Amino acid sequence: MKGMRPFRKKGSRGKKALVRLAIFSIIVTALLLVFSTAAFATTINVPADQGTIQAAINAATAGDTINVAAGTYNEYLNVNKSVSIVGAGSSLVTINYGGLAGSNNAGVGVSADNVTIQGVTIDGNSLGTPRYGLKYSNVTGGTVSDVVVQNAYRSGFDIIGVTGATLSDIQSLNNGGHGIALTDCNNVTVTNITTSGNGWASVSVATWGHYSPLGTSGIVFSGSNTFGGIFQLEEGDYNNQSVPPAGNAIITYSTNPADGADVTVQASDFGYAVHGPQDDAPTQNRTVFTETLGDAQAMLAACSASGCGHFTGADMYIESLTDATQLYISSGGSIQAAIDAASAGDTINIAAGTYAGANVDKAVTITGVSGAIINSGPLYGGGGWFECDSHEKDYGFQILGPGGSGATISNLRFETVSFPVYGRGADDVTISGNTLINPLQGITNNAVGTSGSRWLVTGNDIQDLRADNGGGIGVMIFDYAGGVVQDNIITGNTITGTLHVNSCESGGYEGQAISLYADFRWNSPGATSVSGNQVLNNTINLASDTPAVLGVSGIELTSSKDGATPALPEVPSVITGNTVADNTMDGALAYGLSIIGASGNTITGNTVSNADNGISIAESGDGFDGISYSYNNTVSLNSFINNTVQAAITTGNTGNNTDGNYWSDYAGPGPYLFSGGQDNSPSGPLQVVYLAPTGEVNVGNPVVTAFAADGLSGTLTAQLALSGQTDPANLWNITTWFFDCTVAGNDVSCPTSALPEGIYTATVTVMDGSGNSVTDTGNFNIVDNAPPVTTDDAPSGWQNTDVTVTLTCTDTVSGCASTDWSADNGGGSGTGNTIVVTNEGVTTITYYSTDNVGHVEAPNTTTVSIDKTNPVVVYTGPTGTVYTNLTSITGTVTDASPSSGIDAVTGAVLSLDGGVTYPFSCTVSPSGDIDCPTPGLANGTYAAVISVDDQAGNNGTSGGTFTYAAHGRPDLSPSVVTVYWASLADYVAGNLTVEYSLANNSTGLSAIGVDIVSVTNTNSVVLLTGLPVSVGDIAAGSTGGFTLKYSVPAGTTQFTTNLHATASDPTGTLYNYPPGP
Task: Give strand pairing partners of 559.
Answer: 518
758-768 β-sheet, strand order: 695-697, 773-782, 758-768, 716-725, 735-740
Task: Give strand pairing partners of 285.
Answer: 235, 277
Is 663 found in the same domain as 522? Answer: yes
CATH number of residue 876's parent domain: 2.60.40.1220
Boundary-marking domain end, from 865, 898, 916 = 865
Burial profile 987-1004: b = 16 or more Cβ within 10 angstroms, e = fewer:
beebbbbbebebbbebee
Q: Give the CA angle between residues 470, 472, 474 to the nearest 5°.
A: 130
CATH number of residue 999's parent domain: 2.60.40.1230
Higher pLDDT: 161 or 910? It is 161
Considering only CA atoms, which of 682, 683, 690, 687 is closest in space to residue 716? 687
Which pLDDT belongs to residue 782?
86
Peptide bond into 47 cis (omega under 30): yes
> What digits encode the pLDDT tens for the residues 330-375?
998 999 999 999 999 999 999 999 999 999 999 999 999 989 999 9
Residues of the chain with pLDDT > 70, as a percent, come to 89
Is 583 found in the same domain as 551? Answer: yes
Considering only CA atoms, which of 730, 706, 732, 734 is closest in space to residue 722? 734
Q: Give the CA angle between residues 957, 959, 965 to the nearest 5°.
A: 150
816-823 β-sheet, strand order: 798-799, 860-866, 841-851, 816-823, 828-831
Chain-centroid distance of CA 112 in Å reads 42
Higher pLDDT: 520 or 871? It is 871
Chain-centroid distance of CA 824 in Å reads 51
Is 531 found in the same domain as 618? Answer: yes
**Residues 6 or more apart whose Cβ sits within 8 Å of residue 850:** 787, 788, 816, 817, 818, 819, 820, 856, 857
- In a 3-state reduction of DSSP, which class is residue 640? strand
pTM for this structure? 0.61
Cα–Cα distance, 191 to 224 (Å, whole number):
7
Is 859 found in the same domain as 717? Answer: no
Task: Give strand pairing partners of 957.
Answer: 947
Helices (H), 143-290: none
Q: Mean of the per-residue pLDDT values for the chain?
A: 86
Is 81 found in the same domain as 145? Answer: yes
pLDDT, mean of residues 4-22:
32
Task: State which residues form the domain around 607.
Answer: 497-680
Of the ranges 499-513, 873-887, 1051-1065, which one carries the lowest mean pLDDT score? 499-513
61 phi and psi angles, rounded to 5 deg: -115, 165
Which pLDDT belongs to residue 628?
80
Residue 744 located in a structural domain: yes
Which pLDDT belongs to residue 172?
97
pLDDT, mean of residues 423-448:
95
Cα–Cα distance, 276 to 285 (Å, whole number):
6
Cα–Cα distance, 853 to 386 (Å, whole number):
76
- In a 3-state reduction of DSSP, which class is residue 954? coil
Is 887 found in the same domain as 858? Answer: no
Which pLDDT belongs to residue 31?
35
Is 878 found in the same domain as 829? Answer: no
For 906-939, where are the E strands, in sequence order? 908-913, 917-924, 929-933
Considering only CA atoms, which of 177, 175, 165 is closest in space to residue 220? 165
Residue 314 located in a structural domain: no
Cα–Cα distance, 1021 to 991 (Å, whole number):
10
For 523-619, where are the E strands, in sequence order? 526-531, 534-536, 539-544, 552-560, 575-576, 579-581, 584-586, 591-596, 598-599, 602-604, 607-609, 613-618
Residue 68 located in a structural domain: yes
Considering only CA atoms, which of 512, 466, 444, 457 is closest in space to residue 488? 457
CATH number of residue 250's parent domain: 2.160.20.10
Is 882 found in the same domain as 837? Answer: no
CA distances from 766 to 685, 710, 717, 743, 762 (A): 12, 10, 6, 9, 13
Cα–Cα distance, 265 to 883 (Å, whole number):
43
Is 795 found in the same domain as 770? Answer: no
- Over 80: is that where the pLDDT of 770 sits? no
- Over 90: is that where the pLDDT of 676 sits? no
CA distances from 809 to 709, 850, 856 (A): 42, 9, 12
Cα–Cα distance, 474 to 1003 (Å, whole number):
94
Is 798 found in the same domain as 743? Answer: no
> What digits encode the pLDDT tens for the residues 991-1023?
999 999 999 999 989 999 999 999 999 999 999
Cα–Cα distance, 837 to 835 (Å, whole number):
6
Residue 193 located in a structural domain: yes
Residue 126 located in a structural domain: yes
Boundary-marking domain end, from 782, 812, 841 = 782
- Over 70: is that where the pLDDT of 388 sits? no
Considering only CA atoms, which of 175, 204, 194 is closest in space to residue 269? 194
**Residues 6 or more apart whose Cβ sits within 8 Å of residue 926:** none
Boundary-marking domain end, from 221, 239, 269 = 269
355: part of which helix (H) or strand (E)?
strand 353-356
CB atoms closer than 10 angstroms to residue 55: 16
- Over 50: is that where the pLDDT of 213 sits? yes
Which pLDDT belongs to residue 386?
52
How many domains, in total, are found in the chain?
Answer: 6
CB 436, CB 419: distance < 8 Å: no
Identify the sign of the CA torsion 266, 269, 273, 278: negative
Helices (H), 674-727: none
Residue 527 located in a structural domain: yes
Is 695 found in the same domain as 579? Answer: no
Residue 799 located in a structural domain: yes
CB atoms closer than 10 angstroms to residue 256: 12
Is 990 found in the same domain as 1027? Answer: yes
Cα–Cα distance, 521 to 548 (Å, whole number):
24
297 phi and psi angles, rounded to 5 deg: -65, -40
> What digits encode the pLDDT tens for the residues 775-822?
889 999 988 777 889 999 999 999 999 999 999 998 877 788 999 999
Identify the sign of the CA torsion 332, 337, 341, 347: positive
- Over 70: is that where the pLDDT of 517 sits? yes
Residue 953 located in a structural domain: yes
> What digits encode the pLDDT tens for the residues 296-335?
998 888 887 666 767 877 889 999 999 999 999 999 899 9
Burial profile 110-139: b = 16 or more Cβ within 10 angstroms, e = fewer:
bbbbbbbbbbbbbbbeebebbbbbbbbbeb
Which pLDDT belongs to residue 905?
56
Of the ranges 139-148, 716-725, 906-915, which one carries the lowest mean pLDDT score? 906-915
Residues of the chain with pLDDT > 90, as a percent, come to 55
CA distances from 508 to 498, 505, 530, 548, 561 (A): 18, 9, 24, 10, 13
Considering only CA atoms, which of 384, 451, 395 is closest in space to residue 422? 395
CATH number of residue 743's parent domain: 2.60.40.10
- Over 70: is that where the pLDDT of 751 sits? yes
